[in-house]
Amino acid sequence: MTTLGSEVEASPARKRFLRSFRLSNTGFSILLLLPALLILAFTIIYPLVRGIYLSLNSYSLVNFGAGIEWVGLQNFKTLLSSPDYLAVWWTTILFVAGSVGGQFILGFLTAIVLNQDLRQRNLFRGLFLVPWIVPTVVASLLFKWIYNQQYGIFDYVLRSVGLISEFKAWIGDPHLALFSVTLANVWKGFPFHMIVLLAALQTIPGEIVEASIIDGAGALGRFRWVTLPHLRYIIMIDLLISIIWTFQNFTMIWTMTEGGPVTATTTLAISIYRTAFQAFDMGMGAAIGAIWLAFMVVFSVLFVRFIGGTTRLEI
């Protein structure tokens, strides 16, 4: 036998020598984490800290001579007293609520339907996933074409079936633009919820379902007392992730409307971009981000407390 073990066993002196260099398990663990932590320190932690610092400064890239000037909370005061800024929050909340709400309901319904033993259900699941893998820019250009004012298929179909009587500018009309973008986002995003919730539904033990049927639970009762409690944790994670992502959504909105018409679809993500990279007001852009970040942290903690109860996050 010449396993590594017997070799080491043969020379205790060498073993002791090696052990003096030997990392503890914690040391080994940190060594493995180091590459990821170093990269994230540069790409996330540094920009975050510097962003918070910038939010307390006036820093415009338009006149380089001006440089960075400390202004304290001035950027925040300007923002909070601006009706335009508060309107951005309202737009963001509508967009997030509409997108996540629509995606979740459609995704959950689909998951429940696909959880039965339908013929070809794996094929259907694959086909329903298609919007999710289509690149966002493609999806938004595609919907821009579908919503086209003159030759758009959406308007044509709605008119043909008599739902509307005249041309509508689905993304050109400030009253409709947010709805249209949200609908496109529901199309793009619902498959994620379907996949996560379907996988979760399949973990519900059959005996529990059968027991509840024997106990006389109807379909609704079963949903309320068996399915929902069992899925509570996954629903929480699923909703939290998608709320965070939808706040971040820049591409879909920007490539469809650039936040317009006027400011009809200007969410926080669009607003930072416009402020920092079109008006080149870096300090103000960072301030918009800082408030948003603070909101997300508080929201996430409350959300996990409220929906997750006392369960520790299993990650």
Partner 1 sequence: MLTLTQRRRLTRTLSYLYVAILLIFTLFPIAWMISSAVKPIQDLFVIPPQWIPHHPTLNTLSSVVRGDYGRGSLFPVYFKNSVIVTTGTTVLCLVVASLAAYAFSRYPFRGSYGLMVGILATQMFPQGMLLISLYLAFLRLHLLSTYQALVLANTTFAIPFAIWILKGFFDTIPREIEDAALIDGCNRLDVMTKVILPLVAPGLVAAGVYTFLISWDEYLYAATLIARPEMRTLPPGIIQSFVGQFYLNWPNVMAASVLVTVPVTILFIFFQKYLVQGLTSGAVKG
Q: Which of residues 206-265 bind partner 1 (CB under 8 A)?
A: 234, 237-238, 241, 244-245, 247-248, 250-251, 254-255
Which one-letter amino acid corresponds to residue 243? I
Distance in Å, CB of 282 to partner 1, minimum: 5
In this structure, is the dihedral angle defined by the CA atoms of residues 93, 96, 102 and 107, taken in order, positive or negative? negative
Distance in Å, CB of 225 to partner 1, minimum: 19
* 128 in contact with partner 1 (CB under 8 A): yes
Total residues interacting with partner 1, rule: CB under 8 A: 100
Give which of 283, 292, 298 is closest to 61, Cα–Cα: 283
CB nearer to partner 1: pick between 264 and 271: 271
Tokens 């509570």, residue? 232
Taking CB under 8 A as the criterion, which residues in 176-195 touch partner 1? 187, 191-192, 195
Taking CB under 8 A as the criterion, which residues in 56-75 touch partner 1? none
In this structure, is the dihedral angle defined by the CA atoms of residues 177, 181, 182 and 184, taken in order, positive or negative? positive
Torsion angle, CA of 16/21/25/30, rounded to 10 degrees?
180
* 96 in contact with partner 1 (CB under 8 A): no
Which one-letter amino acid corresponds to residue 267? T
Both tokens assigned to 63: 């006149």
Give which of 184, 179, 188, 169 is closest to 91, Cα–Cα: 179
* 165 in contact with partner 1 (CB under 8 A): no
Out of 37, 73, 93, 228, which residue is the one contacting partner 1 (CB under 8 A)? 37
Out of 86, 137, 208, 211, which residue is the one contacting partner 1 (CB under 8 A)? 137
Stretch that binds partner 1, among 39-47, 81-89, 170-178, 221-229 (CB under 8 A): 39-47
Out of 200, 226, 246, 264, which residue is the one contacting partner 1 (CB under 8 A)? 200
CB nearer to partner 1: pick between 226 and 276: 276
* 54 in contact with partner 1 (CB under 8 A): yes
* 29 in contact with partner 1 (CB under 8 A): yes
Tokens 């459609």, residue? 106
Round to whole Å and give the CA distance between 221 and 33: 47
Tokens 């509409």, residue? 98
Distance in Å, CB of 210 to partner 1, minimum: 14
Q: Give the rounded distance of the alpha carbon of 24 from its chain centre.
A: 38
